[in-house]
Amino acid sequence: MRLQFWIAVASCLLLLAKFFAYYRTNSVAVLTDALESIVNVAAAFIGLYSLYVSAKPRDADHPYGHGKAEFISAAVEGTLVLSAGALIIYKAVKTFIVPEKLGTLDTGIYIIAGTALVNWILGYGAVRQGKRNGSLALIASGKHLQTDTYSTLGIVVALLLIRFTGALWLDSAVAVAMGVLVIYTGYKILRASLAGIMDEADTELLGRMVDLLNANRRDGWVDLHNLRVIKYGNTLHMDCHLTVPWYFNVHQAHHEIDRLAELARAGFGESLELFVHSDGCLYFQCPICDKKDCPVRQHPFRQEITWTVNNILQNKKHGPEDL
């Protein structure tokens, strides 16, 4: 939250700097950068509020916490970015049809280049911290700032070319290109936020989870199925069915669940919540069970099931036919 607060403050200062650069240059490309900065300011404060809400502890009305607020924040930010991109393209095309005289470019170049450097530093820090904390709002904010950096550098190059060649049409051309880039960035942010709101399966996250489970499988874990992982802000909610030998008592089965929880939290952090249903194995699963000292084995062991994203999501116990 402290990082997002300083991003919001810096966004306000950069907005003033870019509009001053537009005042000095009268460049539509610089104006597009300033218009995008308005979105930066709005998104920064929306992101700050969403982080405040998502950090609130769970309560009776929100038993899973308030983490979904980050997805809503990212959706609003993505929509704002898309709108800014459309406005940028409109202004660029209008200026191309009716050219406007440019002002002093040198001052504008220095100011815009300075804002690009500040944006990149802030964006890098936000993405890094967001990945460390699992915060979609902070990652979205950081990526937005990084994209703003690249578009700003493109504008600096265009201003330099106009400065030395006098080709005024480059001003509108670069603005259109930046508008397309902004729209694409907004689409990616909006797409990621909607995926989180709709609890879309995160195949990359599931793949890392499956790799962790396969690499640290314990004797007595006959099978694992019906695995689901849902993200609420920086908290992961994981539930699954763990198949253990049918003759385990309640304490033995719970011990295996505890080991599974420790493994998952070691790989994904203490914010992970685990809900595990224990199943007793069935005789048809003997060929996939490698428990060494099983006193009730009915069939010889053939081969262990290698869990994959596809088979571990299925809501059924695996057997020899799944090998």
What does 39-97 look like in DSSP terms, one character per residue?
HHHHHHHHHHHHHHHHTSPP-SS-TT-STTHHHHHHHHHHHHHHHHHHHHHHHHHHHHH
At residue 313, what are phi and psi to the nearest 5 degrees? Answer: -80, -15
Domains and CATH numbers, the chain: 1-198 (1.20.1510.10), 203-313 (3.30.70.1350)
Could you read off the pLDDT of 141-153 as tens digits, one per residue? Answer: 787 778 778 778 8
Contact 262, 226 (CB under 8 A): no
Q: Which two tokens stand for residue 107?
A: 């001052």
Residues contacting 78, CB < 8 A, separation 6+: 140, 186, 187, 188, 189, 190, 191, 192, 193
DSSP state of 217: P
Per-residue pLDDT of the chain (323 residues; tens, 9 = 90+): 788 788 888 889 988 988 888 888 877 778 777 877 777 787 778 777 776 776 677 677 766 666 667 677 778 778 877 887 888 788 778 777 877 677 777 788 888 888 888 888 888 888 888 877 766 667 777 877 787 787 788 778 878 888 788 777 777 787 788 788 778 878 887 887 777 776 666 788 888 889 999 999 988 899 999 998 877 666 778 889 999 999 999 999 999 999 999 998 888 876 788 889 999 999 999 999 988 888 999 989 998 889 998 899 898 899 888 87
Phi-psi region of 245 (alpha: psi -120 to 50; beta: other; left: phi over 0): beta
Residue 100: predicted pLDDT: 65
CA distance 193 to 65: 17
Residue closest to 32 by CA, chosen among 42, 43, 44, 18 = 18
Residue 278: predicted pLDDT: 92
CA distance 56 to 175: 41
Q: Which two tokens stand for residue 21?
A: 């650069």
At residue 233, what are phi and psi to the nearest 5 degrees? Answer: 65, -125
Contact 232, 65 (CB under 8 A): yes
Residue 250: predicted pLDDT: 93
Strands 235-244, 273-280: pairing is parallel
CA distance 233 to 252: 33
Residue closest to 150 by CA, chosen among 124, 173, 125 = 124
At residue 97, what are phi and psi to the nearest 5 degrees? Answer: -75, -45
Whole-prediction pTM value? Answer: 0.60
DSSP state of 166: -
